[in-house]
Amino acid sequence: MKFKDNIVIVTGAGNGIGRSVAAMYAAHGAHVVIAEKNRDAGEAAALAINESSQTTGSAVFHPTDVSQPQEIEQLMRSTGERWGKIDVLINNAGLSVWKSPYDLSVEEWDYILNTNLRSVFLASREAAKIMRTHGGGAIVNLSSTRAHTSEPNSEAYAASKSGILALTHALAVSLGPDGIRVNAISPGWIETGDYAALRPEDHAQHPAGRVGVPDDIARACLFLTQKDNDFITGTELVVDGGMTRKMIYVP
């Protein structure tokens, strides 16, 4: 119950990793704001969390398209007005378009960068304005192991996730005097679909012996935002089952 009565905002919390993160904070006593563009998904996530026997806090849905600066500002303003504070911000929302760099349009590039990277800066800035008025807070930005390694046709996504890492340490230095810690998590393969459909060889790629699940990232978020971990800031926590540390030789 270390997060009892904490106010936690999770962007992109309607599905996948974000939904698991929101549910875990609510299970530890937090009041969670589900900031989600898809109204049906956001409302369903809030309802499921509030009806869960594991929940000791609560969840509310706030429609938010993080590619739109004014919607980010409204999210933070309404949260501050409702509860008077923000303790934790999880910048999770993100997307990509897998397309050859020969074909990727400027509009697609801008949309991905604005959604994945610009939103992290704007949300962090607006949340920090409220956090610093009540002693500080903690921010976690979701990057990706694709900030370090790539597959073809992922240029915009890779650029946005790499940018998040640089933005994280810059914000940690700038916001530190206000008692605000900023860290990043870089997930590897986190299966948000049919886990049972994975093959043995999928799991065997990982030194940990399995593909990741959203709760793996949720637990990492809780760790980084606990108040007694106040010496951890400006860092990247890679949560990938050791996959990016495994050398691969082709016979």
The set of catalytic residues is 157
Per-residue pLDDT of 157-207, as tens digits, reads 999 999 999 999 999 999 999 999 999 999 999 999 999 999 999 999 999
| Predicted confidence (pLDDT) per residue in 33-68, tens digit | 999 999 999 999 999 999 999 999 999 999 999 999
What residue ranges in the chain does DSSP mark as E strands? 7-11, 31-36, 58-63, 88-91, 137-142, 180-187, 236-239
Domains for the chain: give ranges and CATH numbers.
7-245 (3.40.50.720)
The size of the chain, in residues, is: 251
What's this model's pTM, rounded to 2 decimal places? 0.97
Burial (Cβ within 10 Å: 0-12, 13-18, ≥19) of residue 202: middle
- CB-based burial, 64-80: b 16+ in 10 Å, e otherwise: bbbbeeebbeebbeebb
Quote the tokens at residue 185: 């998590």
